[in-house]
Structure 1
Amino acid sequence: MDVLGDMLTSMRVESALFAHLSFRAPWGVAFTTGDQARLVVLTRGGSWVLADCFSEPVWVEAGDCLIIKGDAGFTMVSEVGVEIVPCATIFSKISGVMHEYGGHGAVTELVSGRFYFDAAAAEPLLSLLPNISLVRRADVRGPLMRTTLELVGLETELDGLGAGIVVKHLINALFVQALRAWCEAEGGRTPGWLAGLRDARISRALKALHADIAFSWTIAGLAGHAGMSRSSFAATFKVVLGETPVEYLTRWRIHRAKVLLKQGTAISDVARCVGYETDAALNHAFNRIEGVGPGAWRRATTEEDKKRAAAMTQSGRG
């Protein structure tokens, strides 16, 4: 099983808003994201990025992408020290429309998209991402993401019939590709499941586990898939992933349970699907990790989703 691919699929990424932006120096815009993630793709020129998570301004240029987690603000400027205006003052609420702002100097163009997705399904990935992730064009492996970037640039430049819907789908694909590129470049540098996927032996055990998460896994069984002794596997697993195999299995079972709960699956069916023989066993494990039972968690999450959907329909560009 492709663990990352399975997660990205279950996230059900879809763009909420996107815009093609054209700035002429001097310019400076402060962006807010709310609780939605954002992707910024530069298609022409360059910009300085200012954010609390950066110790100093960071230069980005055509072909570079920024992945911004929800609630993370940032500012883009033609040069440090220019006047900065809030994004809301220059954006309309119509998705996909070209916005122009600034003076009469050098041109910088970018496409900005805001996304919503299943937060429960995305949790293991988002927990690893920094507030702002930078994916450099030069660091992208293979032609797929570069090709998508070029298509976004062409569609926005030509602005032909149906360009808006084409760019929307391209931006959706680009968001997933950018996440994948970050995972390939940065995701294995700290302990966690991405680091496990980069370890040739541990990854074999992880793929087997994720392919049948309801199976009654033992450390010996997982070690067999990894081609390691039981003791060596357990020790290596803890170093690479930062938790024991049992802790990892339990956490992913609860993660999968949350995805199923959000889909409306009956609790008794959820229990069986993730490897618990009884509702009580699921409730005990779920409560230990989440602090509430699965039923209460589902009710609270459903209410949060309703509020988020209502807020999205009222939000403008930003």
Structure 2
Amino acid sequence: MDPITDIFRTMHVSAFGQHRLEATAPWGLTQEKQTEEKITPSGKKNAPTDLAHFAMLSRGNCWLSVEGIPGPIPLTGGDCFLVVRGTSIVMRDSPRTRPRSTFREIAANANSNVAHYGGGGAPTTVVCGSFSFERASLKPITQLLPRFILIKADQAHTLALHNTMQALASEMAEQAPGSEVVATRLAEVLFIQVLRAHIASEVEWRNKGWLRAIFDPQVGAALSAVHASVSTPWTVESLAAAATMSRSAFAVRFKELLGQTPLEYVTEWRMQKAMQLLQQRDKKLIDVARLVGYDSDAAFSKAFKRVVGANPGEYLKRSYQNRGHV
């Protein structure tokens, strides 16, 4: 299994919010920064926040300014973009228009998930969505996800994005039996399609973070080996051999690309898989431990608590409390 597919299989959307913005010139909106989600000692969330925000321009034209990117970006009908939490943006009809409201304020006043805003001039329609993920998915997704993704209407995979977005909007509007489940699954598909389109675009994502590491011929080979068999008793030496590099050169290159040591990465990914297995609740602790490469449940529990911040039993209790179970 390739690492990207492995992360997609581990990822689960927990919620997807959507609304449509009907804007008329002049108009300008900002997306304020959101702080990181905090977990209290009891395991309860202080304030649920979204990991990423998605928007698709379905009519008209506008300008997008993204924190850290010089100059405004022109958007036309069919263009899509995704930004991660903590990235501020401004959307407006003209680079000269001063934004006077936030997306949060406009969404709060939406009527039947449709928000109207602006001065009555040229119309622009933007379909907006926000993704929230189960906590077990957060670390791998934040490793994979760039801060900003832009997908132009003429790129590959854009039609699939539009079709999924239309199906998602239909499910959320109809509220038929099972709509919430279908909408959540479609949101996962949409998110994966965004990332696939981004990878296919061959922009400068290869120069940054986890995706750069995956497509690095040598480090990528080691990562593929880990994701193909997480239970293997990996060492730096065996990972270096998979990468066809010397131990020292591999360790330096891995840390340079991923910001952590090879064994830190292996341990964290084992715990991501363990969280997924634990939530299935059909395996004994020792079985989960062995599936992710530990010979004893004591050694596994110690590593789990170090990475997750709670032992397996505490984690399961916490997880079910957050889902509304007693």
**TM bucket, shorter chain:** 0.7 to 0.9
Q: Which residue, 158, 162, 174 being the options, matches 1:146?
A: 158
- The residue correspondences of 1:270-309 to structure 2 (distance < 5 A) are 270-306=288-324
Structure-1-length-normalised TM-score: 0.75
Separation of aligned partners in 2, 1:152 and 1:103: 31
Identical aligned residues as a percent: 34
**Secondary structure of 1:200's aligned partner:** coil
Mapped to 2, the partners of 1:221 and 1:38 lie a distance apart of 39
Residue 91 (str. 1) matches residue 110 (str. 2): yes
Name 2:194's counterpart in structure 1.
Answer: 178
Residue in 1 that maps onto 2:91: 76
Give 5+ residue unaligned stretches, structure 1. 308-318
Match of 2:129 among 88, 98, 113: 113
Which shows bigger deviation, 38-47 or 204-213? Answer: 38-47
Distance 1:234 1:82, change over 3 A: closer
State whether residues 64 and 134 of structure 1, in contact with CA within 8 Å, keep that contact through their aligned partners in structure 2: no
In the TM superposition, residue 127 of structure 1 has moved relative to its aligned partner by 4.6
Please give the root-mean-square deviation of Cα atoms over the aligned residues, in Å: 3.7
- Asked whether the equivalents of residues 26 and 82 of structure 1 are also in contact (C-alpha less than 8 Å), the reply is no
Alpha carbons of structure 1 residues 13 and 282: separation in structure 2 relative to 1, 3 Å: same
Contact 2:3 2:227 in 1 (8 A): yes
- Match of 1:38, as an amino acid? H
1:299 deviates by 2.4
Partner of 1:27 in structure 2? 27
Instruction: State whether residues 28 and 76 of structure 1, in contact with CA within 8 Å, keep that contact through their aligned partners in structure 2.
Output: yes
Q: 1:140-289, aligned counterparts within 5 Å?
A: 140=155, 143=156, 145-151=157-163, 172-182=188-198, 185=203, 187-191=205-209, 193-264=210-281, 265-289=283-307
1:120-176 CA distance string (max 9 Å, x none): 12322225646x523141795xx2x222245468x59xx9x9895799676653322
Q: Measure the CA separation in 1 of the matches of 2:238 and 2:108.
A: 59
* 3-state SS in 2 of match to 1:215: coil
Cα contact 1:213–1:253 (8 A) shared by 2: yes
Alpha-carbon separation, structure 2, partners of 1:72 and 1:29: 14
Secondary structure of 2:17's partner? strand
Residue type at the aligned position of 1:281: A
Separation in 2, partners of 1:123, 1:262? 17
1:249–1:89 distance in 2 versus 1, CA, 3 Å: closer
Shift of the 187–77 alpha-carbon distance from structure 1 to 2, 3 Å rule, reads same
Partner of 1:6 in structure 2?
6
Listed as ranges, the gaps of 5+ residues in structure 2 are 35-47
What SS class does the counterpart of residue 218 from structure 2 fall into? helix
Residue 103 (1) aligns with residue 122 (2): no
Pair 276,306 (structure 1): closer, same or farther in 2 beyond 3 Å: same
- In 2, Cα distance between the equivalents of 1:306 and 1:68? 29
Cα distance in structure 2, aligned partners of 1:180 and 1:273: 29
Partner of 2:40: none
Structure 1 residue 177, shift from structure 2 partner:
1.8
**Structure 1 Cα separation of the partners of residues 171 and 305 of structure 2:** 49
Residue 46 (str. 1) matches residue 61 (str. 2):
yes
Q: Give the letter aligned to residue 282 of structure 1.
A: F
Structure-2 separation of matches of 1:139 and 1:242: 35
SS at match of 1:5: helix
Secondary structure of 1:8's match?
helix
One-letter amino acid matched to 1:277: D
- The aligned residue for residue 314 of structure 1 is none
Distance apart, 1:50 and its partner CA: 5.6
Q: Contact 1:22–1:107 (CA<8 Å) still a contact in 2?
A: yes
Matching residue's letter, 1:261: L
The C-alpha deviation readout for 1:31-77, integer Å capped at 9, x for no partner, is: 57861232111123233346666677554433332323357665533
Asked whether the equivalents of residues 43 and 149 of structure 1 are also in contact (C-alpha less than 8 Å), the reply is no
